[in-house]
């Protein structure tokens, strides 16, 4: 391990962060091309301006591929976190194109997919639900005494739902090791945050649940990484549910169909000047962490990865129609590899190290 340059990150990690950022943007730009070419089945979503929030947060967690690591429930605007958790680029494109070869075999869309080994729990469209589900997943960590945490992303709009409240309150009361990432991108579709809540910062809501919280500049990837590292550490040592608010801006419409004609162009211009990739690139160069040619090479590599993955997915088949009737019920008893049945019958929270 080489020396820390900032926040305990060495050069390899810094460049890893940079790669994830540019990869996320390149993947979504590739999606736009695929949509224009008519390949996408449904809607497409961009996270332009929010990439650092997703990447910085996921980078702070323990990502494994054998079912033993932390868990992530992303949103469509946290694709960067999904990729870091091992969600494949080709699968990403397959999902958007409804391919039979994708993780949900064409039955579900975009980032809505699950990979237990990698700790990925894709969301459903109803907002707030994943807070409830992730409360249950992290409850299992607590019950089994595992040193694992969960991370769930939700935007400003989701905070208005009953499910958001019920899930967060349950998680707080049970002291579940869950980190809620609030994507405070100032918009819920076309509805401004001030029409969704009276609070100035979502950390005010955290206080109402009695949980720890931090608010961080969501365009500053190092700051995000540091804040989430602290939150994860608190959650991991039994201090219960945490919230990290990411302050940034949704620079494109809700989805591709949304022309975003309701926003103030000056405000948008201001946030365009705070592009998370540009900011990080300038910092890397200014601090001398890497040369421009190295960053350029990383960008080219990310674009090439996306081009190849998209090409692969595009050539693959869609599912046969009759597949629609399969997989509603299972009558086989499946034993999850992580099911533990050797524990004591009686389990008390007083026996936990919290």
Residues that bind another protein (CB under 8 A): 103-105, 107-108, 112-114, 116, 121-122, 124-126, 129, 131-143, 162-163, 165-167, 169-171, 173-174, 327-336, 338-349
The answer to whether 85 and 134 are in contact (CB under 8 A) is no
Alpha carbons within 13 A on the beta-carbon side of 148:
23
How far is the CA of 137 from the CAs of 140, 148, 213, 219, in angstroms? 5, 10, 20, 29
38 vs 162 by CB, closer to another protein? 162
Shortest Å distance, C-beta 76 to another protein: 15
39 vs 170 by CB, closer to another protein? 170
Q: Any idea what the Cα angle at residue 54 is, between residues 34 and 145, rounded to 5°?
A: 125
Shortest Å distance, C-beta 352 to another protein: 8
Shortest Å distance, C-beta 308 to another protein: 24
124 vs 270 by CB, closer to another protein? 124
Cα 7 to Cα 2: distance, rounded to the nearest angstrom: 13
Cα 159 to Cα 165: distance, rounded to the nearest angstrom: 7
173 vs 223 by CB, closer to another protein? 173
293 vs 334 by CB, closer to another protein? 334
User: What one-character-per-residue DSSP string does 32-46 give?
Assistant: HHHHHTT--SS----
101 vs 260 by CB, closer to another protein? 101
78 vs 127 by CB, closer to another protein? 127
48 vs 139 by CB, closer to another protein? 139
Shortest Å distance, C-beta 130 to another protein: 8
User: What one-character-per-residue DSSP string does 100-164 give?
Assistant: TTSTTTTSS-TT--EETTTTEE---SSTTHHHHHHHHHHHHHHHHT----EEEEEETGGGGSHHH
Cα 237 to Cα 147: distance, rounded to the nearest angstrom: 8
Shortest Å distance, C-beta 6 to another protein: 35
Shortest Å distance, C-beta 104 to another protein: 4
The answer to whether 57 and 81 are in contact (CB under 8 A) is yes
E-assigned strand segments in the chain: 71-73, 114-115, 120-121, 150-155, 178-184, 187-188, 191-192, 212-217, 242-247
Cα 53 to Cα 50: distance, rounded to the nearest angstrom: 6
173 vs 285 by CB, closer to another protein? 173
Shortest Å distance, C-beta 149 to another protein: 13
Shortest Å distance, C-beta 190 to another protein: 23
Cα 120 to Cα 85: distance, rounded to the nearest angstrom: 7
Shortest Å distance, C-beta 137 to another protein: 4
Q: Would you state the structure tokens that stand for residue 76, as one six-digit string? A: 């469509």
């Amino acid at each position: 391990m080489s020396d820390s340059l900032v926040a305990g990150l060495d050069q390899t990690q810094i460049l890893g962060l940079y790669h994830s950022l540019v990869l996320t943007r390149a993947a979504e730009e590739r999606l736009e091309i695929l949509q224009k070419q008519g390949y996408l089945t449904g809607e497409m979503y961009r996270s332009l301006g929010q990439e650092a929030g997703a990447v910085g947060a996921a980078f702070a967690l323990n990502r494994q591929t054998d079912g033993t690591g932390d868990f992530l429930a992303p949103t469509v605007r946290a694709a960067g976190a999904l990729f870091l958790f091992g969600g494949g680029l080709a699968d990403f494109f397959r999902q958007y194109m409804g391919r039979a070869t994708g993780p949900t075999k064409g039955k579900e869309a975009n980032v809505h997919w699950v990979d237990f080994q990698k700790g990925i729990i894709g969301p459903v469209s109803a907002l707030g639900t994943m807070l409830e589900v992730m409360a249950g997943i992290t409850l299992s960590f607590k019950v089994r005494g595992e040193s694992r945490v969960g991370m769930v992303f939700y935007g400003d709009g989701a905070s208005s739902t009953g499910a958001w409240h019920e899930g967060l309150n349950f998680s707080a009361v049970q002291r579940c090791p869950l980190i809620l990432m609030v994507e405070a991108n100032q918009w819920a579709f076309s509805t401004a945050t001030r029409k969704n809540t009276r609070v100035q910062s979502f950390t005010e809501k955290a206080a109402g649940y009695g949980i720890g919280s931090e608010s961080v500049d969501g365009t500053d990837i190092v700051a995000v990484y540091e804040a989430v590292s602290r939150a994860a550490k608190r959650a991991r040592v039994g201090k219960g549910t945490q919230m990290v608010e990411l302050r940034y801006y949704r620079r494109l419409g809700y989805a591709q169909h949304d022309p975003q004609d309701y926003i103030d162009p000056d405000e948008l211009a201001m946030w365009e000047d705070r592009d998370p990739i540009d900011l990080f690139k300038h910092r890397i160069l200014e601090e001398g962490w890497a040369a421009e040619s190295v960053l350029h090479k990383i960008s080219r590599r990310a674009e090439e990865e996306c081009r190849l993955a998209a090409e692969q997915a595009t050539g693959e088949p869609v599912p046969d129609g009759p597949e629609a009737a399969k997989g509603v019920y299972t009558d086989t008893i499946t034993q999850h590899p992580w099911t533990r049945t050797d524990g004591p019958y009686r389990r008390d929270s007083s026996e936990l190290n919290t």
